[in-house]
Amino acid sequence: MRKNAYINARVDKDLKAKAEKVLRRIGVSTTEVVTMLLHQIVLRKGVPFDVRIPNDETRRAMADLDQGGGERFDGTAE
């Protein structure tokens, strides 16, 4: 397959650097990962991971966690 199209995307500089560090460790380039992602989108006819709009209850729980709230547990038995 010929590679003759470009994708430009603005992302956070720190996020990009962290992702590239991980990708270097596993031996793939950002271009290769984007290509893999696009292939998966085509194969699945959608994004290859769960994307949902949170409901009101979930939004409240997320906001509570962002503000330091919520409960912590040591394991799943609690």
Give residue 70's pLDDT.
80
Closest among 42, 30, 40 to 6, alpha carbons compared: 30
Tens of pLDDT along 26-54? 999 999 999 999 999 999 999 999 888 88
Q: Quick check: 77 pLDDT over 80?
A: no
**What is the value of pTM for the model shown?**
0.63
Give residue 75's pLDDT.
81
Cα separations in angstroms, 54 against 24, 45, 65:
33, 22, 14
